[in-house]
Amino acid sequence: MTAPRPLLPHLRTRLPLLGGSDRKIAEVVLRQPQDVVFWSVRELADAAGTAKSSVVRFCQGSGLRGFHDLKLILAQETALARESDPLAHDPAGDVLGAVVRAGAETLRDAAATVQRSAFDATAGLLARADAVLVVGGGGSGPLAQDAAQRLRVIGVRAAAPADAPGQHVAAALLSRGDACLAISHRGATAGTLEAVAAAADAGAATAAITSFAGSPLTGLADHVLVAGARAASPRLAALTSRLAHVAVLDALLVAVALRDERRAAAALARADAALAAHRR
């Protein structure tokens, strides 16, 4: 086994899956990666409140040969990421530039943490489905609306009822051959889980875009795309996950369109003609 690279985004998305001393060590590593670069095994063990042997096991469990490799990887990744959190140093300065740089970092992470096999399976599912139901609540609600509208524009029959009861009903009425795509930052929104469970009961295939592995949602959906756990600056935490989800949706749309380019082109032309009537 070798360590997934970049390591920090993987560690972030897998945090909910870790228990005991692994979790404590991962939390310290994620909180102070720049510091850990200069620490001894003992110092990391102390900071995490664990034994030195736990640190060694943590490194091996992460696919590394040992603590020295962890420090090397952290040195590389923190050097790359150093530019991404200038808000902390320059709160009144170039907010636009800072947020946009953090966004670009987030996208790089998204490409690293989404499993290609789950991505391909989800794209195939959406391309083949007779109908697609997109569900999401709270902050993910507008993203679900957006995804459904953009799927329609490339020729996929998609809908996204705005409210949880409406989503639940629509999910219960799906059939084999249909698909349900859920979007959820934490993967724990009750209404979204209810809809995915109802979709599965109805025989539909299910997929999810979410920020963390190991949530109730990841246990429920057939295919799970994990992206967006990065939160370089606490001030940017609420923003970065949605940008990653938008980018993953963008990529899914391109992948679905490429699977039937003629259908996508025909739908785009009809959508464009309809929109033209609303332009001045």
| Sheet arrangement for strand 158-159 | 158-159, 132-135, 179-184, 205-210, 223-226
CA atoms within 13 A on the CB side of 130: 8
Task: Write down the least CB distance from residue 154 to a copy of itself, Å.
Answer: 9
Give the interface size with a copy of itself as a residue count (CB under 8 A). 60
Residue in 220, 221, 209 with CA at minimum distance from that of residue 250? 209
Which of 72, 79, 80, 104 touches a copy of itself by CB under 8 A? 104
Task: Write down the least CB distance from residue 95 to a copy of itself, Å.
Answer: 4
Spatial contact of 41 and 11, defined as CB atoms under 8 Å apart: no
Return the range that interacts with a copy of itself (CB under 8 A); candidates 18-26, 34-42, 149-157, 206-214: 149-157
Between the alpha carbon of residue 33 and those of residues 5, 73, 77, 118, 170, the distances in Å are 15, 10, 9, 29, 45
Task: Write down the least CB distance from residue 244 to a copy of itself, Å.
Answer: 9
Residue 17 in the binding site for a copy of itself (CB under 8 A): no
* Residue indicated by tokens 């050097």: 79
User: For residue 62, how far is the Cα from the chain centroid?
Assistant: 20
CA angle 230, 234, 240 (to 5 degrees): 40
Which of 143, 196, 224, 231 touches a copy of itself by CB under 8 A? 143
The CA distance from 180 to 33, in Å, is 38
* Residues 6 or more apart whose Cβ sits within 8 Å of residue 19: none
Residue 238 in the binding site for a copy of itself (CB under 8 A): yes
The CA distance from 155 to 257, in Å, is 8
Residue 232 in the binding site for a copy of itself (CB under 8 A): no
Residue 182 in the binding site for a copy of itself (CB under 8 A): no
**Pattern 184-223, a copy of itself, x by CB under 8 A:** --x-xxxx-x----------------------x-------
Which of 38, 66, 88, 91 touches a copy of itself by CB under 8 A? 91
Return the range that interacts with a copy of itself (CB under 8 A); candidates 16-24, 44-52, 140-148, 167-175: 140-148
Site residues (vs a copy of itself, CB under 8 A): 87, 91-92, 94-101, 103-104, 107-108, 110-111, 114, 116, 119, 123, 137-139, 141-143, 145-146, 149-150, 153, 186, 188-191, 193, 216, 235-236, 238-239, 242-243, 246-248, 250-251, 253-255, 257-258, 268, 275, 278-280
